[in-house]
Structure 1
Amino acid sequence: MNDVALKSGTQEIVVEEVLPHAPETIWKALTTGELINRWLRMPLIGFEAVEGRHFTFQTTPAGMWDGVIHCQVLEAKPNERLAYAWKGGHEGNAGYGSRLDTVVTWTLFKVDSGTRLRLVHSGFVLPRNDVAFTNMGAGWKRVVPSIGDVVAEQVSSKKLH
């Protein structure tokens, strides 16, 4: 974990969804570059589910920020937990594109009906990250269910099992 995510006074986004697929199948969707691109809809460069691995996402630039989100895998326990640092923004920006130093954690729990997928995006410093917290809170609520849609498409075409 990074220091910001552990500080009191920070906020987190939590989204949970039960998906009708095995944890191994959901894990593939969380750790396969092509599938991540489909459910997150941001270009991904250099991802591998290996602790210490650095990778980036590209989103819309703003002000002095180039739109690159710098990430590093903090934990990768296959079929159970994936955590990565999520850093972006610029000190010179206010609102969208302000400095962001957070952690995204995916936890998979086997349940009778498939997998309970829990996302926690932690470390939002308010008020500095108000815009990111609001926008990403709404965004993650759309993204998490779309992982199930991507998996269902893959399963039906027999690309995942």
Structure 2
Amino acid sequence: MKAPLITRDDQPVATGVIEESEFIRAPVSAVFRAITTAALLDEWGAGPARFQAKAGGRFFLWDGDMEGMVVEIQAPNRLVFTLREREWKEEWRDSLVLFTLTEERGGTRITLRHSGFTDRRTLERHREGWGEYYIGPLKAFCEERHRS
């Protein structure tokens, strides 16, 4: 589903996609558990969190500042969910996040694709936030727990 091309200034617009990839020195199964288990999300910094790891399951991160619904889950390699910020207007549609996790020598390649933003400013804020508040802490947490 596509976002509206252009509407009023305060309405959703097609603004692009965030695509990021990071190598984590930890097994695929461990990284997947860290992004789909509320207690582990709490440990590495996305909490307080609730996460129902099943299609149709609801989740809340950062004490409800972000929320969504799991669209698809194929453990331990694929997770797709809707995402919206608490502050978004009711009429704005949810964004869509896809994580793919692939085994690579010595660890896991996690790839993020995030689309469906309300505006360019929101896209850029999320681009920074994914690295600083999600991927970076996730990587540090997983690598610390799985040092060889």
> TM-score, length-normalised on structure 1?
0.72
> Which consecutive unaligned segments of at least 5 residues does structure 2 have?
6-12
Does residue 37 (structure 1) correspond to residue 28 (structure 2)? The answer is no
Q: What is residue 103 of structure 1 aligned with on the other side?
A: 96
Give the distance between the partners of 1:146 and 1:17, measured in 2 at CA. 12
Does residue 28 (structure 1) correspond to residue 15 (structure 2)? The answer is no
The one-letter code sitting in structure 1 at the alignment partner of 2:72 is: E
Q: Name segments (4+ residues, structure 1) moved above 6 Å.
A: none
Does residue 91 (structure 1) correspond to residue 96 (structure 2)? The answer is no
Give the distance between the partners of 1:58 and 1:28, measured in 2 at CA. 18
Q: What is residue 151 of structure 1 aligned with on the other side?
A: 142
Of all paired residues, the percent bearing the same amino acid is: 25
Q: What is residue 22 of structure 2 aligned with on the other side?
A: 17
1:86, 1:100 within 8 Å by CA — same for their partners in 2? no
Does residue 120 (structure 1) correspond to residue 125 (structure 2)? The answer is no
2:24, 2:143 within 8 Å by CA — same for their partners in 1? no
- Once the 2 structures are TM-superposed, how far is the Cα of residue 37 of structure 1 from its aligned partner? 2.6
> Which consecutive unaligned segments of at least 5 residues does structure 1 have?
60-66, 93-97, 157-161
Pairwise CA RMSD of aligned residues? 2.9
Q: What is residue 127 of structure 2 aligned with on the other side?
A: 137
Query: How many residues of Structure 1 are paired with residues of Structure 2 in the alignment?
Result: 139
